[in-house]
């Protein structure tokens, strides 16, 4: 289980997280929604120890991430897969080498590594891309390789940072399906997105991050039925909290 308790983070004079408290339940996909710049990615990076919170605690499997030694943090990262917004593939390496890197660090033998690489690429439907370089792949394929790199580690958790941003609807649906399939394999997911169609498809629970705190958290049904004007505005994609968007072609009186 991942637990964030009163997490605060500021960059210079600008506070981003102002006390985020959220439980990520095992075996579920928890989706964090919120506008751009509200700290969704910062929250993910706090979980994996890439960013240190100014206050509050982040617990993974009951251990405070900030209190871990370097060796313990390395071991923790072996249990957490991270899918970056722009995939963050190593562009000097082939797809197979990208997947192999984390497995080598886990100390696996060559045969197991080859097997895991092939299996992970098959899961993301890219079995023939092993020898290609990231520059030869489309944006959607890179993101799928990013997921393959994460699941190859057989992690307990996967953190997805904007997995469908910039993708066409069909590729987005493929990504959604992958995230659901990964959850069904028993992997706990944390998905950061502002794509509501994706959030409703992959999420078991949805948390909305607003002005540095969790505004509301609930099941997909609870969020769909929310009466909170800020959450409603976000999930319906309206420009203001008060008024609905005028129908196309209608002249405002």
Partner 1 sequence: MRLVALRPSDRAGFVEHVGRWSTEAARALTDVPTWGPLLAAQMRRLGVDSVPIALFIAVFTGIVLSLLSSYIFTGAVPLYFVGALVGKTVMMELGPVLTGMALAGRVGANISAELGTMRVTEQVDALETLAYDPIAYLAVPRVLAATLMFPVVTAFAMAVGVTAGWITSINLLDLTTQEFVKGLRQFYQFKDIWFGLVKSASFGAAVAFMGCLQGFRTQGGAEGVGIATTRAVVLGCEAILVLDAFWALVLL
Binding site for partner 1 (CB under 8 A): 45, 48-50, 70, 74-75, 77-78, 80-82, 84-86, 88-91, 101-102, 105-106, 149, 153
Would you say 73 or 180 has its CB closer to partner 1? Answer: 73
In angstroms, what is the minimal distance from the CB of 106 to partner 1?
Answer: 8
Q: Which is closer to partner 1, CB of 88 or CB of 174?
A: 88
CB of 55 to partner 1, least distance (A): 22
Alpha helices per DSSP H over the chain: 40-47, 70-77, 95-105, 110-123, 139-151, 169-184, 196-202, 220-224, 229-236
Task: Record the tokens describing residue 194, joined without a space.
Answer: 């502002």
For partner 1, the closer CB: 148 or 223: 148
Select 81 or 189, whichever has its Cβ closest to partner 1.
Answer: 81
Strands 80-83 and 157-161 come out as parallel
Q: Is the CB of residue 4 less than 8 Å from the CB of residue 19?
A: no
Closest to partner 1 by CB, 158 vs 196, is: 158
Element spanning 217, H or E:
strand 213-219
CB of 126 to partner 1, least distance (A): 18
CB of 16 to partner 1, least distance (A): 16
State the minimum distance, in angstroms, from the CB of residue 183 to partner 1. Answer: 19
In angstroms, the CA 32 to CA 38 distance is 11
């Amino acid at each position: 289980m991942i637990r964030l308790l009163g997490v605060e983070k500021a960059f210079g004079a600008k506070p981003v997280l102002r006390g985020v408290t959220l439980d990520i339940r095992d075996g579920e996909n928890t989706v964090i929604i919120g506008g751009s710049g509200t700290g969704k990615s910062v929250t993910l990076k706090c979980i994996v120890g890439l960013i240190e919170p100014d206050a509050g605690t982040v617990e993974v499997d009951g251990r405070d991430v900030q209190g871990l030694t370097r060796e313990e943090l390395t071991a923790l990262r072996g249990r957490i897969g991270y899918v970056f917004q722009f995939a963050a593939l190593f562009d000097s390496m082939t797809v197979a080498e990208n997947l192999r890197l984390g497995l080598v660090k886990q100390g696996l033998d060559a045969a197991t590594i080859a097997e895991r690489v092939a299996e992970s690429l098959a899961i993301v439907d890219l079995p023939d891309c092993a020898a290609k370089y990231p520059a030869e792949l489309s944006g959607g394929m890179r993101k799928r390789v990013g997921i393959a790199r994460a699941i190859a580690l057989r992690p307990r958790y996967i953190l997805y940072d904007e997995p469908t941003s910039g993708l066409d609807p069909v590729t987005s649906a493929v990504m959604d399906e992958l995230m659901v399939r990964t959850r069904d394999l028993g992997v706990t997911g944390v998905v950061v997105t502002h794509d509501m169609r994706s959030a409703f498809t992959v999420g078991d629970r949805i948390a909305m991050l607003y002005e540095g705190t969790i505004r509301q958290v609930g099941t997909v049904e609870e969020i769909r039925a929310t009466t909170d004007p800020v959450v409603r505005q976000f999930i319906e994609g309206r420009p203001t909290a008060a008024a609905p968007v005028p129908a196309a072609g209608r002249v405002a009186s």
